Amino acid sequence: MQLRKYQQEAHDSIFNEWEKKGIKKTLLVLPTGCGKTIVFAKVAEDCVKEGNKVLIMAHRGELLEQAADKIKKMTGLECSVEKAEQTCMGSWNRIVVGSVQTLQGTKRLSKFPKDYFDTIIIDEAHHVLSSSYQKVLDHFDARVLGVTATPDRGDKKNLGRYFETLSYEYTLPEAIKEGYLVPIKALTIPLELDLSSVSMSAGDFKASDVGSALDPYLMGIINEMKKYCKDRKTVVFLPLVATSKKFTKLLNENGFKAAEVNGSSKDREEVTKDFAENKYNVLCNSMLLTEGWDCPDVNCVIVLRPTKVRSLYSQMVGRGTRLSPQTGKKDLLLLDFLWHSERHELCHPANLICESEEVAKRMTKKMEEKAGEEFDIQDAEEEAKKDIVKEREEALQKQLEEMKHKKRKLVDPIQYAMSIEAEDLQDYVPSFGWECTPPTEKQLKLLESEGIFSQEIPNAGYASKLIEKLDMRRKAHLATPKQIRLLERYNFEHVGNWPFKAASSMISRIASNSWKLPDGLNPKEYVPQ
């Protein structure tokens, strides 16, 4: 199977971390629907070619079955199974799919020598910090790849506590822009749901309390669905099986063709098959379909299980982001409700794409102010970013002016980040251990040579981000730090957004005018053509 460009880049980056950098534990982040199983199947195949024995570990049987099936289809390699009464012991197969619940058993684990596996791949790696995974990983001396749709975790423990590096990340906006996932249209419903009495459990809202709090609003939600979902194939996530069943009944009484599935549904496969074949237009579930289930023509998702956990929220929304050329699917409609909670920050559509919490809050606030209006989430993010940048500039006006007119040729990191509107630099917080260390001499020399004042670089992670940003901008032929530094001293604004040629041309004009601004040129208002 031919890998997509980003899949090949991900594959190569993983082996680069392992083999060239000597990193043992690395993380891969790919959005739901972008073929993470394909990538790690190819990684597993190439490990086997090197003579390695590979363990693919997950917390659910469906994920293991999917992995084994994908590997067989892609590579022709059979997988042994380490689950319940099944064991890989004595098998000739070089790839094993194993349940973490089975492997963590002390008796089972002790049968394996520490060097039995050379490589361990963890599917849905946002679960890796749990004690069950840690017990298994501590036992084996192997290099590790974690694969997840999002690096966040509900208990706030950062995955950087286990993984040493992020080998590759392909973001949701990139996937949408490059046509591998459908655009997401989000709409805030002006129906306020009160969660003030809901308690917490394991870092998130307690499902039983949410179910009770939701009950009085079910008919109101259905009335809103009549406006937006009649012609869409919809998946609804609810907190409890009882709530899911009640909601399904109400939907059917109000003109929808709805079905419900849960963990104990004996007809689960039949129901999901019927939904795929359009016998139903709404499928309700109590958090069953968050992982390992795909129905590409789903084009509406409703999250009635409010959560603080970004990984969980992303999994739910990800059920509707896949392409479906056969049905002419153009986008995903994501309905967001006005959850009223005074104590806790909830996940909203903004949290799918915003790296900065500040931008996410601003985007959410704008959507709430314009409830009932449909937003493309990428457009909404850009608008929120611009607002934040403008406010920051105003707050830092004096400091930025001082930076611009300092008698040195190098640009301050803050000025550079503001000029190129780099949200990820402005809000950067190190995650992995190496990122927290001081910047290396090599990093500092490179940044100085590129025109960035290196004495204010706080850590190696920030330096690495800057270098990565410089490389990307060079390839896109955008203004360099030295150009930014020079032109902003003449009071030109946001030179970081200028093309390299435009910046070069303006510098030439100023130079040919004895390093004075040409007559009639207002730098504050100038926009390059």
pLDDT at 193: 79
**pLDDT on residue 151:** 62
Q: Is the pLDDT of residue 209 over 90?
A: no
Query: In the predicted model, is pLDDT for residue 341 greater than 70?
Result: no
Identify the CATH assignment for 5-170 out of 3.40.50.300, 3.40.30.10, 3.40.640.10, 3.40.140.10.
Answer: 3.40.50.300
What does the pLDDT look like over 467-487, one tens digit per residue?
999 999 999 999 999 999 999
pLDDT at 211 over 80: no
Cα separation, 97 vs 83, in Å, equals 8
Write out the residue limits of the CATH 3.40.50.300 domain(s) in the chain. 5-170, 184-376
Beta-sheet strand order (sheet of 79-82): 79-82, 95-99, 54-58, 119-123, 143-148, 25-29, 165-169
Question: What's the rounded Cα separation, in Å, for the pair 143 and 167?
Answer: 13
- Taking only the tens place, the pLDDT of each residue in 425-464 is 888 888 888 888 999 999 999 999 999 999 989 999 999 9
Q: What percent of the chain has pLDDT over 90?
A: 61
Annotate 343-369 with b (16+ C-beta within 10 A) or e (fewer).
eeebbbbbbbbbebebbbbbbbebbee
pLDDT for 124 equals 85
Contact, 315 vs 266, CB < 8 A?
Answer: no
Provide the 3-class DSSP secondary structure of residue 90: coil
Predicted local confidence at residue 462, as pLDDT = 94
Comparing 292 with 298, the larger pLDDT belongs to 298
pLDDT digits (tens, 9 = 90+) for 89-130: 889 999 999 999 999 999 999 999 999 999 999 988 888 888
pLDDT tens per residue across span 120-159: 999 888 888 889 999 999 999 999 999 988 765 443 347 8
Evaluate if residue 516 carries a pLDDT over 50. yes
Under DSSP, is residue 451 helix (H, G, I), strand (E, B) or coil?
Answer: coil
**Residues 92 and 75 sit within 8 Å (Cβ to Cβ):** no
At 392, is the secondary structure helix, strand, or coil? Answer: helix
pLDDT of residue 152: 59
What is the pLDDT of the chain when averaged over all its residues? 89
Distance (Å, whole) CA 461 – CA 293? 36
Q: How far is CA 238 from CA 210, 283, 427, in A?
A: 9, 11, 33
Q: What are 454's two structure tokens?
A: 């290196």
Q: CATH second-level architecture of 184-376?
A: 3-Layer(aba) Sandwich (3.40)
pLDDT tens for 387-435 read 988 888 888 788 778 877 788 888 999 889 989 988 888 888 888 888 8
Where are the strands (E) in 138-293, listed by range?
143-148, 165-169, 184-194, 200-201, 204-205, 234-237, 258-261, 282-285
Position 343 scores a pLDDT of: 52
Top-confidence residue, 288 or 408 = 408
- Computed over its alpha carbons, how large is the radius of gyration of the chain? 26
Return the residue matching tokens 């971390």: 17
- Following CA atoms 127, 132, 135, 141 in sequence, which dihedral angle do they give, to the nearest 10 degrees? -50
- For residue 488, pLDDT over 80 is answered with yes
CA distance 467 to 443: 8
Q: For residue 521, give the amino acid letter.
A: L
Mean pLDDT of 507-528: 93
166 vs 159: CA distance, rounded Å: 10
Residue 214 has pLDDT above 90, yes or no: no
Q: How confident is the model at residue 342 (pLDDT cuts 50, 70, 90)?
A: low
Q: What is the pLDDT of residue 154?
A: 43
Mean pLDDT of 193-217: 77
Asked if pLDDT for residue 202 goes beyond 70, the answer is no
| HEC readout, 457-496 | CCCHHHHHHHHHHHHHHHHCCECCHHHHHHHHHCCCCCHH
Q: pLDDT, tens digit, for every residue of 374-386?
A: 999 999 999 998 8
- Output the pLDDT for position 355: 80
Residue 293 has pLDDT above 80, yes or no: no
Residue 168 pLDDT = 94
| Confidence (pLDDT) at 458 | 93
